[in-house]
Amino acid sequence: MSNKAAVWPVDCKSEGEAVPDPACSLVGRVVALGFTVLSVMLTACSAAPSSPRDTTVAQYDPESGRLKRIEFDTTHNGRNDAVGIMDGTHVERIEVDEDEDGIVDRWEFYSADRRLERVGFSRQHNGVMDSIAFFAKDGAMERIEMSTRGDGHFNRTEYYQSESLARVEEDTNGDGRTDKWETYAVDAHAPAGQSPSIVMASFDDAFRGTPNRRFLYSPQGTVLRVEVDPDGDGTFVEAAATRRQ
């Protein structure tokens, strides 16, 4: 796994698509990165400058002598694009400037045993963390929380199973309650990067906290039927417009 592959993202869309691609954007960058940046940083901590292009800069606490911060170059182009925030040999977080514009685009947070716990992203590349990926102890990604408006309000959550998108919950109007739900067909044996098939999309048009309209899809992604819950009691019936004669 090369550093180039780890820090050069794939451009793609995230939310707003009928079937979000779990292999692009956030997921692709997180999986490609893994512990590559961490390994580079720890190597830079212990290694002497190997060439005139070595730009590693370490800062130590003046009282304790413990390492507090280290700047390093993940792409070996002579420009430091990442900073490790340290407590001695413990990595608290790593900040990465992916496009080298002087603004942090990715934040990585590690546990005491150097396990990657979560990764924050600035999808707009403006220094504001608007997406966070969370990882289980076994390294599997559990969910991604997003602020679709970039206003600090995380209103969309994507849940993953076997590295595949399983379901989505979203608050589209910002009232703090979910009003859109999406369910996907999880296939643990699907090729890497393949988008899962959407099974159902539900909507709360009345913004009461429960869905009152839903679309059911075929494995090919076409709408099979539309169902509605006119009384709000959880009982769905097929909408007249799609009812088979």
Per-residue pLDDT, 13: 38
> Distance between CA 98 and CA 118 in Å, rounded?
17
One-character DSSP codes across 112-165: TT--EEEEEE-TTSSS---EEEEE-TTS-EEEEEE-TTSSS---EEEEEETTEE
Q: With cut-offs at 50, 70 and 90, classify the pLDDT of residue 53.
A: low
Domain spans in the chain, listed from the N-terminal domain onward? 3-154, 182-245
Q: Residue 40 pLDDT > 80, yes or no?
A: no
Residues recorded for the chain: 245
Give the mean pLDDT of the chain.
79
Per-residue pLDDT, 135: 94
Q: Is 198 helix (H, G, I), strand (E, B) or coil?
A: strand
> Distance between CA 132 and CA 26 in Å, rounded?
9
Question: pLDDT by residue (tens digit) across 104-117?
Answer: 999 999 988 888 99
Pick the CATH number of 3-154 from 3.90.930, 3.90.1690, 1.10.760, 1.10.10: 3.90.930
Per-residue pLDDT, 214: 97
pTM more than 0.95? no
Q: Residue 14 pLDDT > 50, yes or no?
A: no
Q: With cut-offs at 50, 70 and 90, classify the pLDDT of residue 4.
A: very low
> Which range (2-6, 157-161, 221-225) has the least confidence?
2-6
Q: Residue 27 pLDDT > 50, yes or no?
A: no
Question: pLDDT by residue (tens digit) across 162-179?
Answer: 889 999 999 999 999 999
Partners of 215 in beta bridges: 201, 226
Question: pLDDT by residue (tens digit) across 142-156?
Answer: 999 999 998 889 999
- Nearest Cα to Cα of residue 137 among 107, 116, 106, 121: 116
Q: Residue 56 pLDDT > 60, yes or no?
A: yes
Residue with tokens 């079937």: 19
